[in-house]
């Protein structure tokens, strides 16, 4: 496949604000010149790990990895629903690869001749294989992400020569090629990392937790966990056009009022996790650019661990679904910046799509009836947990849920989990009741359900839900998608959506929007499946 053809390749071919505390000053006049070359981002929380393969790497960690590491391929862009650039699910472009040749049961990639890691070491096919071997072996989220695209065994990754790597397919799967463009199959400087590996840590995860070993567009010049990260442009980058921004400083500013004040007085360039109320007010004010984009394949939900009584009883879970204050959450927490995932008409047909609305509404009488039928006429006590790294949404949401559940006799204690610990705590599967966001990187219903409802998935099936009928429907949809059997695919997708809503191990609340506030002189924002910022495209006038 020639470069121009590669660029057109598709999945089909592959099969303070008012009342707030004054914000701290960040920039002095002595820094004016460097300010013009620097992008300052402020957010509620920052990365806890620089390596996407690390244990418990949080969502902010995705952003660091995306900008500091390369993958073989990436996505082209298209116009999104709000007119901003949006990743094209079905079209790819080269990053470390200069060419891709997709056969019936394999794909071969030719690496760029001049690609080098940050230390100047050439990128070779051996590095690619070691990196992919690492991804399918370390376990946890990275390994399950690879498995989602049928990338499961080191034997699938074959070094043909120094600049050529072949990926062999173990089955036909339309998710395989897209899965090579997500964050996880990043290419690591294998010789550098192996110098820091030990018998207990053969993949060097402790080293890469705090040190970047990539070839990406940005290097990390400084990282103080919980405080700030400084990125410097990699002048030797070959993965695409040289970024316009020379330096990115990502400052952790926990106070939403301070983040807003920094934006309003022009000291910060971008923030993307302000409370929705602030985004609405800032948009109406008109002094900043505000972009709102629906999460691709994503929902915010209330999850219930089905192994923890009383949530092992389906009627209890359904009672919770009827007790949740959906519209109050939409009005008082989201301020209209999300799409409701509740209250579908009773006779509405199930769509071959995800996300889609369920048929539960707030009905406290129905909730009390179900609790009584389940043997809990007087309710029960439990905890409801949330990620403190995204408290702007999660905390008021949990307070409203707590108040509503109290009306059916369910007394909840709110458990605030620090953002750096959230992923680890979630994966322990000890929390009985919690709220979380999940957004599937590959925008297909079966991909979302593989992650969240499959009984064999130990990562994002955070409810410990197991139902053989569900597993069969998910597997059937994946197989039908690979062979183009649309009738079977449609039947199985409708089947697993209906079963998910009936069993109610998690209750969708809304499809969130990614809201980004930027100074008017900042452009180039792109929406990506990972929902984080891509510094490579940003421009500061």
Query: What's the confidence (pLDDT) of residue 33?
Result: 53
Helices then strands, each counted (H, E), the chain: 19, 20
Q: How far apart are the first and last CA of the chain?
A: 37
- Structural domain boundaries of the chain? 3-10+35-253+519-540, 298-514
Query: What's the confidence (pLDDT) of residue 197?
Result: 97
Task: Name the superfamily (CATH) of residues 298-514.
Answer: Dipeptide-binding Protein; Domain 3 (3.10.105.10)
Query: What's the confidence (pLDDT) of residue 459?
Result: 81
pTM across the whole model: 0.88
- The values of phi and psi at residue 85, to 5°, are -60, 140
| DSSP conformation letters of 151-184 | ---GGGEEEEETTEEEEE-SS--TTHHHHTTSST
**Full pLDDT tens readout for the chain, 541 residues:** 544 454 444 433 333 333 344 455 554 444 555 677 899 999 999 999 999 999 989 999 999 999 999 999 999 999 998 899 999 999 999 999 999 999 999 999 999 999 999 999 999 999 999 999 999 999 999 999 999 999 999 999 999 999 999 999 999 999 999 999 999 999 999 999 999 999 999 999 999 999 999 999 999 999 999 999 999 999 999 999 999 999 999 999 999 999 999 999 999 999 988 999 999 999 999 999 999 999 999 999 999 999 999 999 999 999 999 999 999 999 999 999 999 999 999 999 999 999 999 999 999 999 999 999 999 999 999 999 999 989 989 999 999 999 999 999 999 999 999 998 998 999 999 999 999 999 999 999 999 999 999 998 778 999 999 999 999 999 999 999 999 999 999 999 999 999 999 999 999 999 999 999 999 999 999 999 999 999 999 999 8
Query: What's the confidence (pLDDT) of residue 31?
Result: 53
Residue 186, CA atoms < 13 Å, CB-side half-sphere: 27
Query: What's the confidence (pLDDT) of residue 18?
Result: 34
Q: What does the CA dihedral 114, 115, 117, 119 come to, rounded to 10 degrees?
A: 10
Q: Residue 146: CB partners within 8 Å, gap ≥ 6?
A: 132, 135, 136, 152, 179, 184, 185
In whole angstroms, give the CA distance from residue 346 to residue 209. 49
Query: Which CATH number is 3-10+35-253+519-540 given?
Result: 3.40.190.10
Q: Which DSSP letter does residue 407 get?
A: T
């Amino acid at each position: 496949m020639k470069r121009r053809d590669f660029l057109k390749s598709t999945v089909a071919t592959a099969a303070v604000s008012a009342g707030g505390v004054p914000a701290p000053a960040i920039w002095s006049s002595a820094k004016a010149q460097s300010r013009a070359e620097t992008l300052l981002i402020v957010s509620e929380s920052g990365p806890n790990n620089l390596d996407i393969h690390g244990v418990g790497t949080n969502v902010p960690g995705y952003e660091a990895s995306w900008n500091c590491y390369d993958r073989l391929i990436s996505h082209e862009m298209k116009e999104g629903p709000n007119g901003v650039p949006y990743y094209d699910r079905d079209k790819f472009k080269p990053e470390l690869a200069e060419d891709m040749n997709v056969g019936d049961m394999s794909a071969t990639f030719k690496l760029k001749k001049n690609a080098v890691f940050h230390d100047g070491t050439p990128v070779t096919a051996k590095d690619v294989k070691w990196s992919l071997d690492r991804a399918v072996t370390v376990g946890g989220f990275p390994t399950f992400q690879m498995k989602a695209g049928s990338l499961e065994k080191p034997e699938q990754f074959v070094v043909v020569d120094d600049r050529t790597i072949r990926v062999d397919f173990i089955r036909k799967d339309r998710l395989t090629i897209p899965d090579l463009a997500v964050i996880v199959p990043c290419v690591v400087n294998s010789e550098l990392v192996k110098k820091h590996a030990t018998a207990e840590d053969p993949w060097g995860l402790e080293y890469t937790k705090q040190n970047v070993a990539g070839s990406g567009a940005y290097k990390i010049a400084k990282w103080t966990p919980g405080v700030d990260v400084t990125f410097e442009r990699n002048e030797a980058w070959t993965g695409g056009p040289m970024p316009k921004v020379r330096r990115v400083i990502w400052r952790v500013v926990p106070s939403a009022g301070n983040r807003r004040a920094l934006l309003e007085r022009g000291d910060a360039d971008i923030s993307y996790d302000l409370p929705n109320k602030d985004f609405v007010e800032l948009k109406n004010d008109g002094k900043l650019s505000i972009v709102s984009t629906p999460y691709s394949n994503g929902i915010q939900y209330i999850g219930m661990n089905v192994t923890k009584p009383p949530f092992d009883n389906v009627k209890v879970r359904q009672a919770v679904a009827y007790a949740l204050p959906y519209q109050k959450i939409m009005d008082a927490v989201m301020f209209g910046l999300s799409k409701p995932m509740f209250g579908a008409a009773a006779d509405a047909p199930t769509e071959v799509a995800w996300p889609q609305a369920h048929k539960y509404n707030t009905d406290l009488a129905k909730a009390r009836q179900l609790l009584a039928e389940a043997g809990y006429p007087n309710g029960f006590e439990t905890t409801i947990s949330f990620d403190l790294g995204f408290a702007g949404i999660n905390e008021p949401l949990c307070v409203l849920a707590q108040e509503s559940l109290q009306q059916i006799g369910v007394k909840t204690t709110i458990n605030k989990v620090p953002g750096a610990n959230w992923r680890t705590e979630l994966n322990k599967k000890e929390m009985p009741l919690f709220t979380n966001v999940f957004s599937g990187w590959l925008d297909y219903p079966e991909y979302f359900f593989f992650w969240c409802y499959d009984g064999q998935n130990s990562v994002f099936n955070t409810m410990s839900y197991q139902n053989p009928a569900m597993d069969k429907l998910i597997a059937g949809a994946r197989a039908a998608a690979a062979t183009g059997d649309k009738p079977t695919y449609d039947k199985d997708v409708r089947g697993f959506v209906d079963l998910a809503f009936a069993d109610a191990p998690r209750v969708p609340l809304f499809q969130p929007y990614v809201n980004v506030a930027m100074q008017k002189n900042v452009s180039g924002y792109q929406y990506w499946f990972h929902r984080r910022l891509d510094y490579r495209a940003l421009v500061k006038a």
